[in-house]
């Protein structure tokens, strides 16, 4: 057996060798799942750009891709849901977002960040809407995340296969911190 050595590709391209053993075919495919997503919605040309907003709902294609929204429907905004929920005996601000499947969020200072499929997710919070690094955000997991997600009404929509829900919370409950705000930012990852 001889190893197949292929040169590195740039521009978000990767080698697809999945058919090589059976057919001898090797192909080059886009390494950015955004392209297949945009194509699946029939987006082409300028409407397919990550910065475009073809449905004119104020949400660009990158954010709609990142949160499993429909870029051709003006009524389908980013899939993010804030909710006051009781955790640890106090009412806390929670934030549930759709993100690409298997995105791993980790603390970066006070924020939670993940990079998946060339999308950088940042969940951050504030007490006064000016400084977004003063309130600590943590991910809610396990039974607490399930409880928060089940309590959101109307019910969370079913996500496509390549997305999943993640829930976060701000540091203090309403008993000690009555003025938290939370948001999601997405950016293209290099």
**Residue 147: what pLDDT?**
97
Asked whether 104 and 114 are in contact (CB, 8 A), the reply is: yes
**Residue 3: what pLDDT?**
74
CA–CA separation, 66 and 97 (whole Å): 10
101 pLDDT tier (thresholds 50, 70, 90): very high
**Residue 1: what pLDDT?**
53
**Residue 12: what pLDDT?**
62
Asked whether 123 and 114 are in contact (CB, 8 A), the reply is: no
**Residue 172: what pLDDT?**
82
11 pLDDT tier (thresholds 50, 70, 90): low
**Residue 148: what pLDDT?**
97
Asked whether 124 and 110 are in contact (CB, 8 A), the reply is: yes
pLDDT digits (tens, 9 = 90+) for 41-96: 999 999 999 999 999 999 999 999 999 999 999 888 899 999 999 998 899 999 99
pLDDT surpasses 80 at 19: no
Give Cβ neighbours of residue 89 (< 8 Å, ≥ 6 apart). none
pLDDT digits (tens, 9 = 90+) for 130-183: 889 889 999 999 999 999 999 999 999 999 999 999 999 999 888 888 889 999
56 to each of 49, 53, 72, 94, 177, how far by Cα in Å? 14, 5, 9, 28, 37
Find, among 185, 186, 138, the residue nearest to 166 by Cα.
138
**Residue 17: what pLDDT?**
73
**Residue 30: what pLDDT?**
62
CA–CA separation, 59 and 68 (whole Å): 12
Asked whether 136 and 171 are in contact (CB, 8 A), the reply is: yes
CA–CA separation, 141 and 136 (whole Å): 16
Q: What is the mean pLDDT of residues 28-53?
A: 89
């Amino acid at each position: 057996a001889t190893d197949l050595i292929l040169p590195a590709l740039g521009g978000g391209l990767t080698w697809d060798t999945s058919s090589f053993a059976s057919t001898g075919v090797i192909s080059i495919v886009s390494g950015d799942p955004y392209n297949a997503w945009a194509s699946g919605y029939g987006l082409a040309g300028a409407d397919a750009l990550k910065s475009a907003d073809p449905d004119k709902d104020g949400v660009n294609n990158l954010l709609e891709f990142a949160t499993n929204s429909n870029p051709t429907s003006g009524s389908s905004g980013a899939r993010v849901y804030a909710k006051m929920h009781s955790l640890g005996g106090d009412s806390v601000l929670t934030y549930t977002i759709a993100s690409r499947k298997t995105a791993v969020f980790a603390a970066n200072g006070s924020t939670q960040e993940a990079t998946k499929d060339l999308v950088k997710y940042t969940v951050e919070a504030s007490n006064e809407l000016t400084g977004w690094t003063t309130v600590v955000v943590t991910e809610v997991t396990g039974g607490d995340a399930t409880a928060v997600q089940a309590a959101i009404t109307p019910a969370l929509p079913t996500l496509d296969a390549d997305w999943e829900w993640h829930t976060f919370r701000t540091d203090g409950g309403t008993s000690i911190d009555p003025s938290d705000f939370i948001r999601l930012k997405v950016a293209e990852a290099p």
